A and B are shown apart, each in its own frame.
Chain A
Amino acid sequence: MTRKNKNIAIIGGGHNSLVSSAYLAKAGFNVELFESRSEIGGMASTKELIDGYKVPGAAHLLHQTDTKIHKTLKLDQHGLTFVASGLKTISINPDGNALIFDDDKVSGDDITMNEQKQYKEFRETMKKLSGFFKKSYQIPPPRLGSGDRKDMTRLMSLGWNLRSMGKNSMRHMLKYIAVNIHDVLNEFFDHEHIKGSIALDALLGNRLGPRTNNSVITFLHQLTGDLNGVQGSYAIPEGGMSSYSQALKNAAESAGVKIHINSPVKQIDLDEKNKVRGLILESGEKVNADIVVSGIDPKSTFMCLVGPKNLEAHYVHKISNIRMRGNTSKLHLALSGLPKFKGVDSEDLGHRIINAPNMKYLELAHDFTKYGEYSDQLPMEIIIPSIHDKSLAPNGHHVLSAVINNTAYDLKDGWDQSNAVVLENCLNQLEVMAPGIRKLVVHAELLSPKDIENEYGITGGQWHHGELTFDQFLMLRPIPGMAQHKSPIDSLYLCGAGSHPGGGLMGLAGRNAANEIISRES
């Protein structure tokens, strides 16, 4: 059977699925993609908040992208342009002294020349270390002890990537990799506000405090991406986040992918030998496919669509133990005017504004999370996308989108009870940062991890389809023995963020999966 005769059904229409589908279709497979929602893009989409106001559904910045994928899929020709890129990060402070991070430069909040130098040094060190990650993200990780030649080569290349970093970086890697961002930052800086601002990057989307070991990995992970050659750069696509997904969709469709929206999948159809036969949709329709690729999270894939009864017990046990505890909510505000943030120039309001005054603040917020509670002082990442894109709100009006960390999926009191309180707390916090903002609020909504789970179908509302921790990383992601995008069911593959290299709008999981499928199924 040649590729041309092989049908591939892809589950989910998130960015990884779209990337995967485009690569597979380019390679000559017949690819159909099934998305349960009424639009593709998953968490990278634009949604209507209320009539006339649109906000990014979940992800609100393009950050960890992989330039190679953009080039191969010619996303610029498929409609991807940026209204803003190389965004600065402005870390606000209750006393109004904001810190401004612009790539490797930092200014504001009584910062000294020496501290500026320290910051540059820190960035250089960390970029080098994340370079190792970036390289290892380009291919599926090796299987350990398989004896397979390909695995040996991959293991050797991992080792070589580490070795070729040079003595200093290798030492740094060994020194930092297993510890926490709190200790690392204390080695580099004295300035509490700088430390808090940097630490937030390690925590956003994750369930960690600065003192939690593993927070260096998450920090390096988010630094791996680049945009226009700038590592760790932030950008906003023209037309909102959905236009990023739209560009991917156009690329996929022009490669020949058939995309079906409003087509939730009920189960992966297996024959009596447990071989993939296709999909069964919620509508009852059967889709024949030789290969099924799942872009949704591994827990949903195996526990719901495959079913635990069709897997050996050890797989079920390991999959049900994947940690997927969401910790991040989305706050969306429709505003009747542009708010004024303390210490932020009005021309800077279009940049990335964060609330992380110091590491203690972040650690305390995490303490609440640990016990299923929430603080009234939460870390935030705020953007006002309507500054760049007037189409998002009526004339003169604006929308604000904020990522709120430390709002645990499994709150002790439950989200039904807590949603309104957390929203109120957030508004109160914002009122302190931007006095008068409450008067501008036309409409407010808080999407808790529970809401995100319901809306986007991600177990636990966990953005990365599985917490990015050392035991769920590289060849252990999503579980040991399943890291090559392969699954125990023949011809069922994983292409989502739950597989290596994990979450963020990278598309690498999708592309690596496609390459793996091309080499195995041809």
Chain B
Amino acid sequence: MLRQDHYKTSVYQTPFHERTSELNILNEWTRWKDYTVSTNYFRTDLEYFAVRNTTGVIDYTPMVKQKITGPDAAEFVNRFFTRDMNKIGVGRVGYVVWCDEAGQVLDDGTVFHIRENEYWLLCVERQLDNLKNSAIGFDVTIEEITDDIACLGVQGPTSCSILKVMGFEGIEHLKPFDIKHYDFRGQEIIISRTGFSGDLGYEVCMVNDVALDFWDELFDKGKIYGIQPFGLDALDLVRIEAGLLVPGHDFMVAEEAIRPGSTRSPFELGLSWLVDLSKPVFNGREALIEEKKKGSRYTFVKLNINGNKPAEGAYLYNQSGKKIGNVTSAMFSPSAKANIAFASLHDPWKKGKDKIIAEIYYQKDLEWNKVMEEATIVTKPFFDPDRKRNTPAELY
């Protein structure tokens, strides 16, 4: 059931708030949907390095969670999402996008095939109306369970060891995108080998009642493995290195866009691999086939930019000074030791012919400076360690 006591409080605290507020010594908070969560706990870069070198823990309870159950659940998700959902078997997780009737992306997220006839969709934007509109004619029940389920991301090289020490037998045998059900204090918890960091890591979903117990045990057992909490700022760094998009940042959520040209199709976000046009029907298919015929308006690219000045929001030009796009996310990556960015390119940019030059502004003692830096397109992830994939996972 969704909480309906907004009139009592303007933002909710997550079930972990008692602990996160103690650790958040900077007292920096961000409102994420109905909840308040830590922006930073102690120092963004140190939180980032905890994720990359030991283990970082993020409270992502505000992630919108929807449960789809019923005899037609499999057919329903296959019609709702652009990719072939039959390939995501029971106990598996899939990365998905879904589109409106114009083939424009509404949001991206992960679908958990929890058990036969039960799927969970975890995403940024609320989808209850889209899901329910799409459910006409299907024998499915759709509930939003955001407020019932607490979620933690346990990410980093030592994450598997900590969970193993906590007593989750066989956790190291989980392959990437596998789900396993465990018992914790008499309640079912769901651990999946997924995450937003591009590294070895797990996501844990549990009922609110056991949230604090889980946190305490996790931090207790994790102490010698260098466990640290991390906030949304550090999350943004690891997800850019991992090459993951955020709606509202790297693309406009189609429902919220005011200008028709500002939305993106999956093809325009580099997500063609998530679109299976050979499926007979899914939402947005007709429009996407049309786009295939006519050509897309935008091209999504990952960039490696010269210099070390992050290109956040930069305009991109070709060699003749024509604007050809802009940067949607950017950072200097400590792990890749490169100045990296995501960008959306458009006409008159010609693949393979045109240069990409970023117009980067940066501040030096209050004074704004500008550099024009050339960029090259990167096709592989910026950060892609083997331990992300190795099964059994590395134990320490």
**Is there an interface contact between B75 and A309, defined as CB atoms closer than 8 Å?**
yes
The number of residues on chain A lying at the interface, defined by a beta carbon within 8 Å of a beta carbon of chain B, is 17
Report A300 CB to chain B, min CB distance, Å: 13
Across chains A and B, which 3 residue pairs bring their CB atoms closest together, nearest first? A308-B137, A274-B280, A313-B134
**Is there an interface contact between A310 and B281, defined as CB atoms closer than 8 Å?**
yes
Task: List which B249-307 residues lie within 8 A (CB) of chain A.
Answer: 280-286
Proximity bits, B181-201, A CB within 8 Å = 1, else 0: 000000000000000000000
**Is there an interface contact between A310 and B283, defined as CB atoms closer than 8 Å?**
no
A317 CB contacts on chain B under 8 angstroms:
133-134, 136
Report A98 CB to chain B, min CB distance, Å: 50
Question: Cβ of A488 < 8 Å from any Cβ of B?
Answer: yes
Inter-chain pairs besides A309-B137, A313-B283, A314-B101, 18 sampled, C-beta below 8 Å: A270-B280, A273-B280, A274-B280, A307-B137, A308-B136, A308-B138, A309-B72, A309-B281, A311-B281, A312-B101, A312-B283, A312-B285, A313-B130, A313-B133, A316-B134, A316-B136, A320-B136, A488-B286
12 CB contacts below 8 A, A to B, read A308-B137, A308-B138, A309-B75, A309-B137, A309-B281, A310-B280, A312-B281, A312-B282, A313-B79, A313-B136, A314-B101, A314-B133
A488 CB contacts on chain B under 8 angstroms:
286
**Is there an interface contact between A314 and B283, defined as CB atoms closer than 8 Å?**
yes
**Is there an interface contact between A314 and B100, defined as CB atoms closer than 8 Å?**
yes
**Is there an interface contact between B137 and A303, defined as CB atoms closer than 8 Å?**
yes
Which partner residue on chain A sits nearest B134 by CB separation?
A313
Bound-complex Cα distance A441 to B282 (A): 58
The number of residues on chain B lying at the interface, defined by a beta carbon within 8 Å of a beta carbon of chain A, is 19
Question: Cβ of A187 < 8 Å from any Cβ of B?
Answer: no
Proximity bits, A261-296, B CB within 8 Å = 1, else 0: 000000000101110000000000000000000000
A311 CB contacts on chain B under 8 angstroms:
281
**Is there an interface contact between A313 and B280, defined as CB atoms closer than 8 Å?**
no
Which partner residue on chain B sits nearest A302 by CB separation?
B137
Which partner residue on chain A sits nearest B136 by CB separation?
A316
Report B259 CB to chain A, min CB distance, Å: 16
Question: Cβ of B80 < 8 Å from any Cβ of A?
Answer: yes
Report B229 CB to chain A, min CB distance, Å: 40
**Is there an interface contact between A312 and B286, defined as CB atoms closer than 8 Å?**
yes
Report B341 CB to chain A, min CB distance, Å: 35
A270 CB contacts on chain B under 8 angstroms:
280
Report B127 CB to chain A, min CB distance, Å: 12
B133 CB contacts on chain A under 8 angstroms:
313-314, 317
Chain B: residues with CB nearer than 8 A to chain A? 72, 75, 79-80, 100-101, 130, 133-134, 136-138, 280-286
Which partner residue on chain B sits nearest A303 by CB separation?
B137
**Is there an interface contact between A313 and B80, defined as CB atoms closer than 8 Å?**
yes
Bound-complex Cα distance A492 to B354 (A): 46
Report A152 CB to chain B, min CB distance, Å: 18
B281 CB contacts on chain A under 8 angstroms:
274, 309-312
Which partner residue on chain B sits nearest A312 by CB separation?
B283
Main secondary structure of the interface of B (DSSP, over half): loop
A307 CB contacts on chain B under 8 angstroms:
137
Which partner residue on chain A sits nearest B280 by CB separation?
A274
B282 CB contacts on chain A under 8 angstroms:
312
Report B377 CB to chain A, min CB distance, Å: 32
Report B165 CB to chain A, min CB distance, Å: 46
Report A428 CB to chain B, min CB distance, Å: 43
Bound-complex Cα distance A488 to B79 (A): 15
Bound-complex Cα distance A317 to B132 (A): 10
Report B263 CB to chain A, min CB distance, Å: 15
From B130, B136, B286, residue with most partner A Cβ within 10 Å: B136
Report A316 CB to chain B, min CB distance, Å: 5
**Is there an interface contact between B137 and A312, defined as CB atoms closer than 8 Å?**
no
B80 CB contacts on chain A under 8 angstroms:
313
Task: List which A464-485 residues lie within 8 A (CB) of chain B.
Answer: none
Which partner residue on chain B sits nearest A270 by CB separation?
B280
Bound-complex Cα distance A312 to B285 (A): 8
**Is there an interface contact between A316 and B137, defined as CB atoms closer than 8 Å?**
yes
Which partner residue on chain B sits nearest A311 by CB separation?
B281
B286 CB contacts on chain A under 8 angstroms:
312, 488
From A273, A303, A311, A313, residue with most partner B Cβ within 10 Å: A313
Bound-complex Cα distance A53 to B118 (A): 59
Bound-complex Cα distance A137 to B267 (A): 40
**Is there an interface contact between A309 and B101, defined as CB atoms closer than 8 Å?**
no
Bound-complex Cα distance A313 to B75 (A): 13
B284 CB contacts on chain A under 8 angstroms:
312
A320 CB contacts on chain B under 8 angstroms:
136
Report B100 CB to chain A, min CB distance, Å: 7
A308 CB contacts on chain B under 8 angstroms:
136-138
B75 CB contacts on chain A under 8 angstroms:
309
Report B9 CB to chain A, min CB distance, Å: 35
Report A319 CB to chain B, min CB distance, Å: 9
Which partner residue on chain B sits nearest A314 by CB separation?
B101
Task: List which A236-274 residues lie within 8 A (CB) of chain B.
Answer: 270, 272-274
Report A289 CB to chain B, min CB distance, Å: 18
Bound-complex Cα distance A317 to B72 (A): 18
Bound-complex Cα distance A314 to B136 (A): 10
Task: List which A313-335 residues lie within 8 A (CB) of chain B.
Answer: 313-314, 316-317, 320
Which partner residue on chain A sits nearest B133 by CB separation?
A317
From A303, A314, A488, residue with most partner B Cβ within 10 Å: A314
Report A271 CB to chain B, min CB distance, Å: 8
Report B214 CB to chain A, min CB distance, Å: 37
Bound-complex Cα distance A314 to B283 (A): 8
Which partner residue on chain A sits nearest B278 by CB separation?
A273
A310 CB contacts on chain B under 8 angstroms:
280-281
Bound-complex Cα distance A228 to B121 (A): 64
Report A234 CB to chain B, min CB distance, Å: 41
B137 CB contacts on chain A under 8 angstroms:
303, 307-309, 316
Report A273 CB to chain B, min CB distance, Å: 5
Which partner residue on chain A sits nearest B282 by CB separation?
A312
Report B117 CB to chain A, min CB distance, Å: 16
A272 CB contacts on chain B under 8 angstroms:
280
Bound-complex Cα distance A317 to B79 (A): 14
Bound-complex Cα distance A190 to B138 (A): 55
Bound-complex Cα distance A85 to B139 (A): 53
B138 CB contacts on chain A under 8 angstroms:
308-309
Bound-complex Cα distance A488 to B281 (A): 10
Bound-complex Cα distance A314 to B137 (A): 13
Bound-complex Cα distance A420 to B72 (A): 42
Which partner residue on chain B sits nearest A313 by CB separation?
B134
Bound-complex Cα distance A81 to B35 (A): 76
Which partner residue on chain B sits nearest A488 by CB separation?
B286
Bound-complex Cα distance A30 to B284 (A): 34
Bound-complex Cα distance A272 to B86 (A): 15
Report B99 CB to chain A, min CB distance, Å: 9
Bound-complex Cα distance A393 to B346 (A): 77
Which partner residue on chain B sits nearest A320 by CB separation?
B136
B136 CB contacts on chain A under 8 angstroms:
308, 313, 316-317, 320
Which partner residue on chain B sits nearest A273 by CB separation?
B280
Which partner residue on chain B sits nearest A272 by CB separation?
B280
Report A488 CB to chain B, min CB distance, Å: 6
A313 CB contacts on chain B under 8 angstroms:
79-80, 101, 130, 133-134, 136, 283
